[in-house]
Structure 1
Amino acid sequence: MGGWQLIFVALLGLATAQGPEKRRTGNVCNVDMDCPDNAFCRLNSYCVCKEGYVYAAINSTNKGCLKEARNGEACVQNIQCHMTMGVHSECTGGSCACAPTAHLDGERCYETALIGERCVVDQNCYLGEQGIERQAFCVRGYCTCQLQFSPRDNGTRCVRDAALGEECEDQLQCAGPGLECRGTCRCRDNWVANNHTNSCVESVKALNEPCEFDIQCDSLAGVPGVPSPGAALCLGGTCSCSYNARPVGNPPRCWHRRRPGQDCRRDEECVSEEDEPGYCLNGRCTCKTCSPDARDFSGATVSRQSMFASAVVLFAAILG
């Protein structure tokens, strides 16, 4: 057997022996009957408490082997609790419990630390009743909320960051640029929701300014209350009017082209085939050189009465 193997065996034997030694009573003996209750004679030399018992004071004058106790079990001395629950436990009111500055995690008591306070292990970081997933960890000696969580109420709890459209309790919970909390995380004024990235992007304020997404140019299409969807797009990295739209006004905004006779809502939409500015009359486009009656222009729907009259004239001509 090699030298390192001998050292390992020696250490193993020492570790094995330490358990009974911690329970040694101090009584000398030859047989088990020489030892107090719940103890036995080791090596015909000294008494040791049985497994699951610890040597402690029974009262002010006597010592003996007391049964180790777990949380809520009967006890006489703190050491009964320490053996199973750690040094942050105590015997209070005749039963084992965690000390006031500690909490129970599993079967052991750990000193309690809030978010931002010093810690040794993850179990120190206590946020009340733990769910299935631990929300706080000991990172570089301090309790920290897990990723995508942030502390609240003086470090007593961690709250998950909320994304666009999710419920929120305060502004800090809405993680990401352009978000604000209004019951749910929403885009701030002058920001718009990008459904592809589930985030907010800032609206572009004028044509020919830089952009990444079409949605950033939407505010330049029409006017508030009378939008012109799709009239402004992000083309070549800047906001521009789409192919079938044109810039109108000062500052310019994009409007879909509407020809004479087509439906309209605003004068800015109307323009003739010769690009003569028109105006919106009774919901139809016309222009200065056009008849005010928009129904006379191409794109208008021919009435059933007109079609019937034309058919009568044609039929009469054939009969004649």
Structure 2
Amino acid sequence: MVSAKFYFLVVIEALLFICVRSEELFAKQQIQSYVSCRNDADCKNNSFCYGNDDNTYGKCKCTEGFELNRINATDYECLPRVYLGDACEEDFQCQLVATPLAVCNDKKICECSPGSHSVQRKCFADVRLGEVCMVHDNCLLSDGTYAFCVAGVCTCRKNEAPSPDKTLCLGSRNLGQPCKSDKECISVPNARCLEKCVCQTAYTLSRNETECVKAATEFGEPCDFDGQCSKFLSESVCNKGVCGCLPGSHKYGSRCVRTKQIGQSCEKNEECIYKKEMNGNVRCENKKCMCLFGTNKSGDCNIEKILDGEGKNAASDVISTKSLLFSVINILFVIYFT
């Protein structure tokens, strides 16, 4: 009984014969023309009469180092085999050595076609990370290094991650891990490198400390947890999905301060200013919140000053502006009637 091993060897030998025979036929087609000849003089430059004898016509065949270019059924030329960077006449001269991705450019020089690159005198298709590849040489990165063709896909090393444009392999560092450049932190959106991967200025650590989330810069902005509020709004908390202050405190500028009513003990003026209109009309004096211009019938402080966001007297500014306008009008009036 014939063993399975015997059949396996027969199949292998048959495949090898087919491959070798195919290569021979290909070589014959490449170097042998259809032009009949009696002797070498019947053939063109860089070719000779092959397979002829006294009674038989041969065929013109290119000499070694030259390749056949069939112009038509009765005409041909033998052109030298060339490499990338060499002078050429036709694309096929370049492609014999540098793969079918090579071309003879407008300057008659062999080069790789657009969308491909050269490696050791051969052209390979450009393949981005995550795309289908044939060999490692397809996976050229924008920094001149190579990724790996794994299971037919260009892939970074285990500890690296693709850049957003899929042209670089970057260090896959997590928040808090040491780094040397921002590129190493790119696997975490909105992160940067400051000796270790941290969130960018406008962002803060997420609740589970694995992401960077937008930090609030004004009271009333949406939030998911207190850390989003307190980075820029001191002492603020996330209450019902928006940034605000705890009960017993109020917002003052970009921070939360304790709320002190008129007559209560205090440390700073802003503790007494729990309403916008109280700014400039109430202050902490002798460790107690006091009205500067007395109180009205309802017991509230009299409002004599109206301050803008910078603490300036807005009313005074209006009066000054009006006075300036009247002065200009008077000057123009005098000039016109004199």
What TM-score comes out, normalization by structure 2 length? Answer: 0.46
What TM-score comes out, normalization by structure 1 length? Answer: 0.48
